[in-house]
Amino acid sequence: MSMTDPIADMLTRIRNACGSKHRRVDMPVSKMKIEIARILKENNFIQDYTTVETDEGRQLLRIRLKYAAGGNPVIRQLQRVSSPGLRKYVGVQEIPRVRNGLGVAILSTSRGLMSDREARQARTGGELLALVW
């Protein structure tokens, strides 16, 4: 069965793994998912990410999750904003500040995937994919 929204699937897998206190989570790989993982790593929400090949020859994206000193996950909430059924586009002036700068908004712009800070610096808007804090 084909997947309608692979980004929502990725965020749900990360959310479920954090809730179960897993050290890592695996998912099918795509360029968009790798870019989302890169943004999460740059903003210190995850430890690391790699692509791994399985025995069947398929590629998997492996994300190592990050936990605070008390064992609580660093990612408190992942929220998908734009979906295939209802896209949400924002201009530069409308890019949200997530938790007053403590969180990050992930945008898909004409220059690739960017965090909200990068998009404001580049003075470009785009599709608001997800909010993370």
Q: CA-CA distance, 133 to 114, in Å (whole number)?
A: 16
pLDDT band at 2 (very low <50, low <70, confident <90, very high): low
- The pLDDT value recorded for residue 3 is 82
Mean pLDDT along residues 22-28: 97
Question: Nearest to residue 26, comparing CAs of 50, 74, 62?
Answer: 62
The per-residue pLDDT for 123 is 98
pLDDT tens for 39-90 read 999 999 999 999 999 999 999 999 999 999 999 999 999 999 999 999 999 9
- DSSP secondary structure, 52-107, as one string: EE-TTS-EEEEEEE-B-TTS-BS---EEE---SSS--EE-GGG---GGGGTSEEEE
* DSSP track, 3-29: -S-HHHHHHHHHHHHHHTT-SEEEEE-
For 114, other C-beta atoms within 10 Å of its C-beta total 22
Q: Please give the helix or strand (H or E) that residue 109 lies within, else none.
A: strand 104-109
What's the confidence (pLDDT) of residue 18?
97
59 token code pair = 């590629």
Q: Could you read off the pLDDT of 78-131 as tens digits, one per residue? A: 999 999 999 999 999 999 999 999 999 999 999 999 999 999 999 999 999 999
pTM score, two decimals?
Answer: 0.95
DSSP-derived 3-state class of residue 39: helix
Task: Please tell me whether residue 38 adopts helix, strand or coil conformation.
Answer: helix
